Amino acid sequence: MRRLKCVVAYDGTDFSGFQVQPDQVTVQGEIEAALQRITGEEAQIAGSGRTDAGVHARGQVIHFDTASNIPLEKWGFVLNNQLPDSIVVRSIEEAETTFHARFDVQVKEYRYCIDNNPVADVFRHRYADHIRFPLDVEAMQQAAHHLEGEHDFTSFCSAKTYVEDKVRTVYGLTVERLGNEVWVTCRGNGFLYNMVRIIVGTLVEVGQGKRQPDELQDILVACDREMAGKTAPAKGLTMWEVVY
């Protein structure tokens, strides 16, 4: 058996998330079906993380095992030929049989895009949340600094999560304006359910003047989801990179 590691990109708009779900179209389901058509094997992939419905990926990492003797240099073409246009394998390589796409992750990076044009950009509506009112990016960045480091992120986690340990480390959280777009970039050792989207939703409220930057510290300490802002829409979020 060989273990292959792939970097996968996808437009998550029309998928019910990454993970396989009964009677739903998912990224994992599409990839596993493609692998089964190619190899005839009961394929099962492991991903670096589970993106929610509507969330995109530029650098999702997966691995799978196969007994197929297809040459490595042909795997990318063969697999992409079997996948829908909204999923693309960007690279593929041999990995050690001990490698695990999820458990070996050191750093994950997510980026959130806000279309801050007065009128929505029709060519960005699938990949950015439109907010037409001006945002104070400097205040958002001041607020973001309070979330860097190791903290209990209960306040920034969906109440639906089953994870008990909510301590995570955010290595960097930046907010920058690029033209008429505002990008929030979050790098950490792992993220809770809806964590990045709740962080973004709270930072947006700071950018709108509804909260002061220093309030983020109080929200963290409270460990209360009701204290944080709204969950930002899924379509603006992209799993950007995974580092091993």
Residue 138 near residue 242 (C-beta atoms within 8 A): no
Q: What is the DSSP string of 94-163?
A: EE-TT--TTTT--EEEEEEEEE--SS--TTTTTTSEE--S---HHHHHHHHHTT-EEEE-GGGS-TT---
Nearest to 35 by CA among 73, 81, 93, 97: 81
Residue 169 near residue 149 (C-beta atoms within 8 A): yes
- Beta pairing partners, 111: 185, 238
Strands 149-152 and 167-178: antiparallel
Q: What's the gap between Cα 180 and its chain centre?
A: 22
Q: Which helix (H) or strand (E) holds 89?
A: strand 87-95
Which member of 11, 14, 23, 52 is catalytic?
52
Q: Is 110 annotated as a binding residue?
A: yes
Residue 26 near residue 19 (C-beta atoms within 8 A): yes
Phi, psi of 139, rounded to the nearest 5 degrees: -65, -40
Q: Is 14 an annotated catalytic residue?
A: no
- As annotated, the active-site residues are 52
- Binding-site residue set for substrate: 110
